[in-house]
Structure 1
Amino acid sequence: MEAKTIAMSLASNRSLIFPTSPRSSFVPTSRFSRLPLKRACIGVDGFRGSALTRWNPIVPNRRRLVPVRATNSEGSSGLEKVKEYEEWDSWTAKFSGGANIPFLMLQLPQIILNAQNLLAGNNTALSAVPWLGMLTGLLGNLSLLSYFAKKREKEAAIVQTLGVISTHVVLSQLTMAGAMPLPFFVATSAVVTVGIILNALFYFGKLSATLWRLWEDFITVGGLCVLPQVMWSTFVPFVPNSILPGTTAFVIAVVAVFMARTGKLPEEGVKFVQSLSGWTATLMFMWMPVSQMWTNFLSADNIKGLSPITMLLSMMGNGLMLPRALFIRDLMWFTGSIWATLFYGYGNILCLYMSNCTSKLFFAASTIGLISWIGLALWRDSAAHGHNSPLRSLKELVFGS
């Protein structure tokens, strides 16, 4: 009799232990799929498919996950969605890491050519390489390295690290040839060394929050100072050659950072200042195709100096990072990557084709490949997130979920 009473009591309170849910409370795939599953706490007894779970508020001080009731067919469909999400998560990370190959191939020919000229004593040939432009790119890589290290995007951080190192090698060659002033190179080397060490320590959790904030403030001020100066210099001699844009931006940046750190700005303003370093680095890279096309417009003959293979490698490197940026809904990363893919890589290929500097077959293959790749990225992303239309993915990217 006592056993029967206990059994009836358990049956009457069964909903407190294993609460059942109406069909409308099933957890849709899109709700948990916006965060990378490898970073989420999923699984009961090591079963990866148990991401269709929810929190049980009855059990205090214990993270107990209770499965949501579902039929076999719905459970199977949910597991397939989870598997598809995880597969695309893994592939996008691999694509992002694979961008190292075309980006490294972009710098290697220049490094080899510079070394050959240095060995031959032809130092004047290295004067054709603009050290100021290379320095701007290095600062952009360094800022983005900090951005991706903070987001724990390992593959993208490695891409930026290799960009910093390869560009620094080129600058060292220019310094040996006398094309870059030695004091500037020494200062640049110090910043690069400190930056790589601090980012590595931060990524592995070995850096204090105070030092990291100081580094973030430094790259924020540096980025805001360099960007307007580079934009202004593009249009010289149509505008006066002046350092006023950079100086003005430097003062504004210092004031903004000081107000953010001393609590003089509202929360929205503090977040805006914190995001400036990443956006200024992205805008610096976005300005590169504008500068190149402006040069092409002023002197059409200069376009013959562009290599179609170099532009193709640039398009491929930035294009390989598009799926990852879209997948994690990073608007800044996606904006910079799609801009560089379309305007720096493909845009210059189009200019080369219109100037009869490349073949029709090369242009057609580049066009078809680019369209196919972007279409594949949109299609697979929408499928991984359980959307019926790729436009839903773009909407979440721009406006959030």
Structure 2
Amino acid sequence: MLTGLLGNLSLLSYFAKKKETEAVVVQTLGVISTYVVIAQLAMAESMPLPHFAVTSAVVISGLFLNFLNYFGWLSEGVWRAWEDFITIGGLSVLPQVMWSTFVPFVPSSILPGMIAGIVAVAAVFMARAGKLSEQGTKLVQSTSGWTATLLFMWMPVAQMWTNYLNPDNIKGLSAFTMLLSMLGNGLMIPRALFIRDLMWFTGSAWASFLHGWGNLLCMYCFRSISKGFFLAATLGFSMWIGLTLWRDTIACGNRSPMKSLRELVFGP
């Protein structure tokens, strides 16, 4: 849950910097809803009070700083410090989450997170000290957004791994929740494609396909949903992707959807 919270805060910062209002609203709601659940855990004494206090400070600070930056009321130095914080946090958490997914097949260890954290601190320090090339500095600056995207992209992988190890867990999944995940992320694909934002497009397409449709496929294979439900979801998803590519091709004056995809990956 804390991983999802960090991901939401990182993506909120990314979209606030780009002034993408709708995406900012979505990520803000994600932060608030996750924090409400964490607060309930703290009230039920399932989360230590010091941990909750630190989490609350990060959430409040993150929302406040992003709000100020969105309206252009924040100094560049403070914003850069916040970006450094979420970059280090994201790079530290991502390898640890990936490693933990495969425990007990791999030994339980915090070493991946520690190593990644040290590398992240060194990279941020070198970027701020001017020790990296211009391209290297830009790479470090874009890291927080990509790590947040990869955190969310890893969630369906972990879910499918759990399904593989314990198929009985599939019975606890909600088909409508998976459908909403597919629809919600799918609705962001056209905007991401239109503005040629590869990170946004990658995260939305991956989540819509794997977290939404992929889990529906697992549920269908294990007979947790009907054939009609799965086929309707598949048809709707396919039509939406086709419509997105078609309309983007027309809007951008391209002859083929492949040109839109090439521009997305390699630039105009």
- The interval holding the TM-score normalised by the smaller chain is over 0.9
- SS of 1:206's equivalent? coil
CA distance in structure 1 between the partners assigned to 2:203 and 2:197 by the alignment: 10
* Structure 2 residue 124 is matched with structure 1 residue 265: no
TM-score, normalised to structure 1's length?
Answer: 0.66
- TM-score normalized with structure 2 length: 0.99
1:75-129 Cα offsets, whole Å, 9 max, x none, are xxxxxxxxxxxxxxxxxxxxxxxxxxxxxxxxxxxxxxxxxxxxxxxxxxxxxxx
SS at match of 2:105: coil
Which moved further from structure 2: 257-266 or 180-189?
A: 180-189
Q: Deviations over 1:330-356 (max 9, x none)?
A: 000000000001111100000000000
Please report how far the alpha carbon of residue 178 of structure 1 lies from its aligned counterpart in structure 2 after TM superposition. 2.3
Deviations 1:312-334 (CA, angstroms, capped at 9, x unpaired): 01111100100000000000000
**Counterpart position of 1:284:** 151
Question: Which residue does the alignment assign to 1:181?
Answer: 48
Partner residue of 1:24? Answer: none
Q: Distance in 2 between matches of 1:245 and 1:195?
A: 26
What CA distance in whole angstroms lies between the structure 2 residues aligned with 1:147 and 1:187?
22
Match of 2:265 in 1: 398
Question: 5+ residue gaps in structure 1?
Answer: 1-133
> 2:93 is aligned with what amino acid?
V
Which of the pair has the greater relative contact order for Cα pairs under 8 Å at 6+ separation? Answer: 1
Other-structure match for 1:254: 121
Measure, in 2, the Cα distance between the counterparts of 1:184 and 1:350. 38
Q: How many percent identity over aligned positions?
A: 71
Q: Any unmatched runs of 5+ in structure 2?
A: none
Q: Does 1:346 align with 2:250?
A: no
Partner of 1:18: none
Matches within 5 A, 1:48-87: none
Residue-by-residue CA offset, 1:141-187 (whole Å, 9 max, x unaligned):
00000000111111101100000000000111111222222222111
Q: For residues 23-64 of structure 1, what are the alpha-carbon distances to aligned partners after superposition, in whole Å with 9 as ceiling and x for unaligned?
A: xxxxxxxxxxxxxxxxxxxxxxxxxxxxxxxxxxxxxxxxxx
Structure 1 residue corresponding to 2:2, chosen from 126, 129, 135: 135
Q: Cα distance, 1:370 vs. partner?
A: 0.2
- Corresponding position of 1:144: 11
Q: What is the RMSD of the two structures over their aligned residues, measured on CA atoms?
A: 0.6
CA distance in 2, matches of 1:197, 1:271: 25
SS in 1 for 2:171: helix
Residue 388 of structure 1, CA deviation:
1.4
- State how far apart, in whole Å, the 2-side matches of 1:291 and 1:177 are: 27
Write the distance in 1 (CA, Å) between the matches of 2:44 and 2:239: 44
Higher helix share: 2
Question: Quick one: which amino acid aligns to residue 32 of structure 2?
Answer: I
Q: Which amino acid counterpart does residue 172 of structure 1 have in structure 2?
A: A
Q: Which runs of 4+ in 1 moved over 6 A?
A: none
Q: How does 1:194-343 map to 2 (within 5 A)?
A: 194-343=61-210
